[in-house]
Amino acid sequence: MTEPNQEATHHHHHHHLPKRIILVRHGESQGNLDTAAYTTTPDNKIQLTPSGLAQARQAGNHLYNIISNDENKNWRVYFYVSPYDRTRSTLREIGRSFKKERIIGVREECRVREQDFGNFQVKERMKVIKESRERFGRFFYRFPEGESAADVFDRVSGFLESLWRDIDMKRFHRDPSHDLNLIIVSHGLTCRVFLMKWFKWTVQQFEHLNNPGNCEFRIMQLGPGGEYSLAIHHTDEEMLEWGLSPEMIDDQKWRMRANKGDWNEKCPWYLDEFFDHVADSDRESGDKENGSSGMCE
């Protein structure tokens, strides 16, 4: 008999969690069209192209349709935006689809800015640098005078701490009847790093991820147990295209139903990747000590 009651308290426990956390990459920029733009313009001042502005308006429309389609018509949005011109312009265009009463607020957040590639970027030099990044590994390679993806991971981790604190203190959520949607307008690599940090993906898994396209988004949606999953909104095909492995997709599907704090026993990169050579039980290791070989054949 206690089940519905448990369900109620369970639901009560995470009613102040955002229903969705949506990562959006900025629209097409001058730098996406021609990397020569970076030789004369600071990265943070690179503008959207007319096509980028149109993409952002379309993304706003698409996001509005997804969010307003819910049973709960009492939804709200809160935006975080990288301080770069191209992300701010993307947000302005996305914002056209939402009425003011629906928007709780906007915060410019430096920690979700683009990876720093090191001041003005000389085209020929950047070509050589990017070739050596391929040899070194994309995650750990640090651009001269700039950052590595690992550096971005550290500041995104700091941002996530603040985000959880804001959620815990119900800073966004004045009214529990509202469904809250957090939208983070950022950059391709930053979005990938955010997901890596959130879902505890390994460096090796990160290396296989593809950049989202301009104004593409990734929707992390809250499951009934209080875990976020990409699989609630996105298809297997989409996630494969993004570079998630079948195991990573299985984990996303597990999260759709998981209770907060549960541990996915079937998640190979947490344990088996390191301890595939370790005996399963005490009894097994006793057999090995008594003469049978303990090495992987």
Q: Which has the closest alpha carbon to 152: 203, 208, 102, 105?
A: 203
Which of the following is catalytic: 26, 173, 178, 187?
26
Strand spans (E) along 5-99 = 20-25, 75-81
pLDDT attached to residue 175: 82
Q: Which has the closest alpha carbon to 86: 237, 188, 162, 227?
A: 188
Per-residue tens of pLDDT for the chain, all 297 residues: 444 444 444 444 566 899 999 999 999 999 999 988 988 999 999 999 999 999 999 999 999 999 999 888 899 999 999 999 999 999 999 999 999 999 999 999 999 999 999 888 887 888 888 899 889 989 999 999 899 999 999 999 999 999 999 888 888 877 888 899 999 999 999 999 999 999 999 999 999 999 999 999 999 999 999 999 999 999 999 999 999 999 999 999 999 998 887 888 777 776 677 777 777 777 765 555 554 433 333
Is 27 annotated as contributing to ligand binding? yes
114 given a catalytic annotation: yes
pTM above 0.85, yes or no: yes
DSSP state of 112: G
Which of the following is catalytic: 16, 93, 109, 114?
114
Strand spans (E) along the chain = 20-25, 75-81, 103-108, 179-186, 217-222, 228-229
Is 125 annotated as contributing to ligand binding? no
Is 138 annotated as contributing to ligand binding? no
pLDDT attached to residue 121: 80
Angstrom distance (rounded) from CA 21 to CA 108: 16
Cα 71 versus chain centre, distance? 25
pLDDT attached to residue 271: 67
DSSP string, 94-111: HHTTS-GGGEEEEEE-GG
26 given a catalytic annotation: yes
Angstrom distance (rounded) from CA 281 to CA 221: 37
Angstrom distance (rounded) from CA 262 to CA 222: 14
- Rounded to the nearest 5 degrees, what angle is found at the Cα of 75, between the Cα atoms of 70 and 77? 120
DSSP state of 163: H
Is 31 annotated as contributing to ligand binding? yes
